[in-house]
Structure 1
Amino acid sequence: MSHATPATAVEISTGRRRAVLAIADGRPALELLLDEAPLAFIALGVDVDGADLAAGTAIVGSDDREVREEWDAALGKATGPRAAVHRETTVTLRSGTLTWAVVVRVSDDGFAFRYVLPATAASLGAEHTRIDAGDHGRAWVLEYQTWYETPRFGSDLRDLAAGSYGFPVLVECDPQRFLLLSESDIDGRSSGAHVDWDGTVFHVTTADDRIEVEPGHRTPWRVIVAGTLAEVVATELIDALAPAAQPGALRPRPGRAAWSWWSSQYSGAYLDVQKRFTDFAAEQGWEHVLVDCGWDAAWVPELVSYASARGIQVHLWSAWSDLDGAEALRSLALWRSWGVAGIKVDFMESESQERYRWYDAIIAESARVGLVVNFHGSVIPRGWARTHPHVVSYEGIRGAEYYVFYGHPLTAAHNVIQPFTRNVVGSMDYTPVTFSAPERETTDAHELALGVVYESGITHFADDPDQYRSRPLAAAFLAELPATWDEVRLLDGHPDTHAVVARRSGDRWFIGGIGAHTSDAVVELDPAALVGGPAAVWAIGDVDGALTELAAPEPGTRMRVPLAPRGGFVAVVAPAAAPVRRAVQRAELPRPTVAESLIVLRGTEVTVGTDAAAVRTPPGWTADRGADGEWIVAPLHRPDQGDVAVLTLENPGHDGVPVVSHVRVLTPFDGGVHDVSRLPFVSARNAVGPVERGRANGGGDPRDGGPLQVRGVSYPDGLGVSQDSEITIAVAGSATRFTGSVAVDDETPDTAAVAEILVDGVTAARLTPSATTAPLPFDIDVTGASLLTLRTSPDSADETHVDWLTLRLSE
């Protein structure tokens, strides 16, 4: 319904919620009411082209409509078909000669509004939104930083220090009425926002003081979820306000993951460790394994193949700066060609428009090539679960990594606040269930319950497999957790004391309870109410400091669950006639056969003998079936000499995940001199972190070594390894000589090692560099060879850093 005549106030309402936009002292303001009781008073306005747009404003018209949003959620609190209905009113305003608008939506769980700038707008400046929720309530906040990793805490508003606080902000107006402040629908056309508290009201403050905008620019939605705590926890308003996904948008495979970094920060460099975590994921029936920093392109395809046989997908870590720009983003297509399923991108740490444009670029390219994305060091969710379903999770939380090296153990109180605040707005990669955390104040049952209380599109269980195996009840429970949820309910709790969250998957309910109490407490549950009749219950809690199976309640009775100080519990509830425990392991499938694992590209194409149903090629290559069932693979343009392309051979596997093998195609050398330290590896292994290119071995992370330096002399190129390593390089073609030298780097004085050079598996040279010797030269005949191997082994008790220097292949 359209109202063209001027008005002094416009009302928008649905059910128990009502909003009134009116002019007060010449400026627009919005009053929010729940059950006819005032909730908040919001002053409105923004600066446009250097002027305060709200000054001297009059309402000139309004337009009403009902907005029905429907989407198919791939992950989150509830997957599958979702729907929301909003009453929306666009209130047209005039300030002098400028016409602009405020769009207001009211739904069954809250309110939202946004500004529509004049058609002549060129720049957006400061925002004048002020949210007054009274000063007698209580709020749960975190001190603002652009990656949202400060502790969340509760404070009476009258005692809350003036300062900047990050979304979402939870405000308690009274025991039955809460407000959650956040935002939705943001991309590279805007910058992110937070709130500043001045002791009386919250000021919405954007990251950029000024941004260039298109005429008619629409700001992100300012969102106010309003209702009981149960309504706040269950809301999907943030997603409902976000744009719909494009047809055919990439759908993720949600689930559970093993992750080695938390228990061993340098473990991403070691294939054997990643296989061990993959084995545990297979035992548990989980879907994923995440390889953090330090991985090497030489062995990632092998891990992908190993994991695929059990339906486990591999995800790789990267710093955002290594994926900044069109050239860098090409890595994504390469990784996908190996069979990698997703990426974890880290350290964005900005809310600026420029960084949001980077988000736009990587979200688009990862979707195009078929990779899911987990953002760390990142912003919080603002509706991308709906708009970009392949964005499976975000950090934006002070999570379990803070046990590792920050020296600030997490508190039970901080944990209890999260399901009422941060996790309300979307998936949260806290990386839970860390039994071996140092200085932990929470109980084992509290840790276990985080796997239910917290939701993430992919939940990364952070501890070492042996920690889980040593607690058989915990391992059994984590194996039961489903990959997705159908419904969420807050059964009991308050952000100051405890949280009991129930999540349904099919006909089973999974319950997690965590407490911040410093003394014993009891939680009462009604299992029959969850399943609508007689119930079977399997529960685990704290008894005498250990995980213990709790007695199920008598039929028809409520269950009283003890909650130890800073403790927790978990339970699975199913209809009485149905099994409670259903976890099964996926059988290991045979991988595609491979006639040759290394093929030399002698002409314009190669023939791959395999029983694979499909071949995934790297960018710039094609694959077609030959007449005899083999695959004919060819590059569109001849690669550089020494290039090693990885072909991924696929057969159908578990849950739509192909089971794969790999073949490498070498472009042979054809004259010239080649720096071996720049060539791709066929395989690589190093005992202390990854093999380093152009620098010494360092410690355990990529690029953490110093310059290649021997006896005070620096060398511009080479490979840095430890005393136990092996690197294999393909050398087919016209190359006849391999030259260089080997030495112990100045990083490790008073040490020694043994260095061997093998040609097609046969030792061609054996050298014994030490910290007291100059680099030892070598000149090896590689005529007609296929593989060159550089191997080191210990010759002293101490860690030794070995440098392979000035490595050259030539005719």
Structure 2
Amino acid sequence: MAVPIRTVVAALCTALAATLLTTAPAGAEQRERAWTVTVAADAPRVRIALDDATGTLSLSVTRGGRTVIEPSPVGIVTERADFSKDLRFLRGKNRTVEERYRTRSGKRLDRRVRMNETRLSFATPAGARLDLLVRAAADGVAYRYVLPAGHGDVLGETSAFTLPPDAGAWLGTYRPDNEGQFTEYTAATAPTGAYSPQALFATDGGYTLLAESDLTGAYSGARLAHDKGTGTYRVELADDRVKTDGPLTTPWRAMVTGDLATVTRSTFTDDLAPASKVADPSWIRPGTVLWTWLAGGRPAGQSLAAQKAYVDYAAERNWPYEAVDAGWYFKADEWDVTDPDWQTNSWMPELVDHARAKGVGIIVWIHQRELDTSEERAQWLPTLERWGVKGVKIDFMDSEAQATLQWYDAILRETAAHHLMVNFHGSTVPKGIQRTWPHVMTLEGVAGEEKRTNTAAHLTTLPFTRNVIGSMDFTPGAFHRVGLRPNSDAAEVGLTVAYESGLQMFAGTPDSYDARPLARDYFDQVPAAWNDTRLLAGRPGREAVLARRSGDRWFLGGVYAGPARRAEVPLTIGAGRWLVETIQDGADGLVRNRQVLRGGDTFAVDVVANGGFAGIACPWRPGVTTCHR
């Protein structure tokens, strides 16, 4: 829940948020005006330039004097005005934005924000006005367009991001459900096509992840369009025409930037988003979930007896939730909502009562088509709340068009009103949504465990791309899917920490957990909300080792792609002595190792091909022999 916000208007011409007019040498014709925004000398610096000859705007980003983003087009076109050319500068205004807020889940519960903001006003020859809002923080820069009423519908943006052609690039092919795999290219050699807006690039200025924030039904979702042979990635909207009927503020075009550890730990897209709209979030409780779909599919979903057995297993393990997937409300594959007894014929209330008695909450899957009208939502949501269901997993939106985003606006308000946590599948990606609507615990928007074509390289890229911007429902723990996943058992355990999700859904079977007691016992310990997150080692597509803190314990998750190796991991979790327990792949299954290390030491882990590890580090003192509690 956000605490009161303090916003300080900074003096114009400070060193940290400077609006600088660049002039040509004496006697030469002035050709460009430029403004720069930054928060510190070692932070990213964004430069906005206006070409006086063409009236076009461009934006570039540097860090430490090195290239992050080359000069890139900035502009938007509406049916009544073209704000991509012939602009003249009107005025500028600076301020500093400082906020503190607390989340219910994510990489870090307590957040502190400091950004410098410049607002630049421009006009077309006909007098139409555009404001360009630019923000800079220690871990990113962003911009958005602000238009007054009367501009008409938006026809598109000329916004783009230009990278050095040889910049490393990790890109996911665009899909409306955001389930494209991430693959490594260079900025120029990536094939012509559309890509996810969560694109990661490496230049001499560090790593930069492109992203969006504060996307609502007032606008349209975006993708990146690229032509092979160039380093330019254009912003394309899901709609040919974005309908507006008044003033418009577009989503933030964000660039999370810094070294890889900074990008991985960043909460920049959340920091840009509006404050929480949930006044009392006390009912929102992250946790681990026994998820049964990959354990049996629809037949298991339709069986009350099977679901009770799963609840009993979750209760035995002290796992707080059990998720019931597709099939539970279907009769002959279709639920007849015109049946006056449709609410009383379901066995779900009996299951919820059974689970409540055992301290387990129930989360239910539901198709978006059951909730796509206000009348349907008025039937379903109060009923689920009355039954005592804790959350809904809503599936198959498969669109980021404006009409779908308006549906998101409605369902977010209404699920919050009925105290239902949300897991979106077949969906958009977070884009700041979890700050504004903290009952959104996780979203799919990823090629997750259900996919049969994932690669180990994809798995080691996700912590630096999709999962940077918010909770990701990858659904790890599917030990029974041998041959259908690219990684080892120890790596599968490590995914529960390497990937952050406010509802961490375990995708295996009870039998597969019992056959791997070290993994099962680790799942008993692992939280779903964190006090802090750190990257210990990483290279997209090759390795990712993350440490996440809960209380005084650090949980460790490492995933690797490629041949077997002896991996070296720096224990950069703080000073003092630590007992470190790791779960690794052994000759006959999972094995546990224990050692006492000092903070900053490097420890070695034997990793099998496409393997990994999981671990816990806790403060050591004489007599401490285990981190498990």
Q: TM-score, normalised by structure 2?
A: 0.88
Give the equivalent residue in structure 2 for 1:704: none
The aligned residue for residue 543 of structure 1 is 586
User: Does 2:225 match 1:196?
Assistant: yes
Distance 1:545 1:95 in 2: 71
Answering whether residue 361 of structure 2 is matched by residue 313 of structure 1, we say yes
Specify the alignment match of 1:163 in structure 2. 193
Instruction: Kindly provide the amino acid, as one letter, of the partner of residue 452 in structure 1.
Output: V
State the distance in 1 between where 2:147 and 2:359 align: 50
Superposed, which structure 2 residues align to 1:580-595 within 5 Å? 580-583=626-629
Q: Distance in 1 between matches of 2:292 and 2:107?
A: 26
**Is it true that 1:458 corresponds to 2:503 in the alignment?**
yes
Which SS does the other structure have where 1:272 is aligned? helix
- Equivalent position of 2:370 in the other structure: 322
CA RMSD of aligned residues (A): 1.8
SS of the counterpart of 2:294?
Answer: coil
Shift of the 38–411 alpha-carbon distance from structure 1 to 2, 3 Å rule, reads closer
**TM-score (structure 1 length as normaliser):** 0.69
Cα 1:346–1:50 change in 2 (3 A) is: same
Q: CA deviation at 1:484?
A: 1.3
Contact 1:109–1:231 (8 Å) recurs in 2: yes
The answer on 1:129 being equivalent to 2:156 is no
Matching residue's letter, 1:85: R
Q: Secondary structure at the match of 2:38?
A: strand
The reply to whether residue 401 of structure 1 matches residue 444 of structure 2 is no
Matches within 5 A, 1:97-176: 97-174=127-204
Q: Which residue of 2 aligns with 1:749?
A: none
Matched, 1:259 2:286: no
Partner letter of residue 129 of structure 2? T
CA apart distance, 1:6: 8.6
Q: Which amino acid aligns with 2:48?
A: L
Matching residue within 93, 105, 108 for 1:63: 93
More relative contact order, 1 or 2 (CA 8 Å, 6+ apart): 2
Take 2:188 and 2:180, find their aligned partners in 1: how far apart are those partners? 21
User: What does 1:67-466 correspond to in 2, within 5 Å?
Assistant: 67-79=97-109, 81-96=110-125, 97-174=127-204, 177-199=206-228, 200=230, 201-246=232-277, 248-251=279-282, 252-266=284-298, 267-296=300-329, 298-330=346-378, 331-402=380-451, 408-439=452-483, 440-466=485-511
Report SS of the residue matched to 1:159: coil
Q: Which residue of 2 aligns with 1:776?
A: none
SS at match of 2:400: coil
Amino acid at match of 1:198: D
Give yes or no for the alignment of 1:10 onto 2:55: no
How far apart, CA to CA, are the structure 1 residues paired with 2:469 and 2:193? 22
1:503 aligns with 2:548: yes
Distance 1:11 1:441 in 2: 46
Is this contact kept in 2: 1:324–1:358, CA < 8 A? yes
Q: In 1, Cα distance between the equivalents of 2:226 and 2:404?
A: 25
Residue 518 (structure 1) aligns with: 563
Could you tell me how far 1:92 is from its partner in structure 2?
Answer: 0.5
Equivalent pair of 2:80/2:151 in contact (CA under 8 Å): no
Cα displacement (A) at 1:573: 0.4
The 8 Å contact of residues 50 and 57 in structure 2, kept in 1 or not, is answered as yes
Shift of 1:307: 1.2
Structure ranking higher in strand proportion: 1
Given residue 159 of structure 2, which amino acid in structure 1 is its aligned partner? T
Contact persistence 1:250–1:370 (CA under 8 A): no
Superposed displacement of residue 432, structure 1: 0.5
- Give, in whole Å, the separation in 2 of the partners of 1:91 and 1:561: 52
2:615 to 571, 583, 591: 571
* Contact 2:207–2:258 (8 Å) recurs in 1: yes
Whole-Å Cα distance in 2 between the matches of residues 441 and 212 of structure 1?
Answer: 44
1:42 matches 2:72 = yes
**Cα shift at 1:2:** 5.6
Partner of residue 528 from structure 2, selected from 483, 502, 518: 483
Letter aligned with residue 494 of structure 2: A
CA distance in 1, matches of 2:612, 2:159: 40
Gaps of 5+ in 1: 403-407, 584-811
Q: Could you tell me whether the CA contact under 8 Å between 1:5 and 1:60 is conserved in 2?
A: no
Count of aligned pairs between the two proteins: 574
- How far apart, CA to CA, are the structure 2 residues paired with 1:351 and 1:5? 38
Within 2, Cα distance between the matches of 1:523 and 1:58? 56
Kept in 2: contact 1:178–1:226 (CA 8 A): yes
Checking the alignment, whether the CA contact within 8 Å between 2:456 and 2:541 is kept in structure 1 is no
Contact residue 531 and residue 575 of structure 1 kept, 8 A? no
Q: What's the counterpart of residue 23 of structure 1?
A: 50
CA distance in 1 between counterparts of 2:626 and 2:564 reads 31
User: Secondary structure of 1:103's match?
Assistant: strand
Q: Which entry has the higher C-alpha Rg, 1 or 2?
A: 1
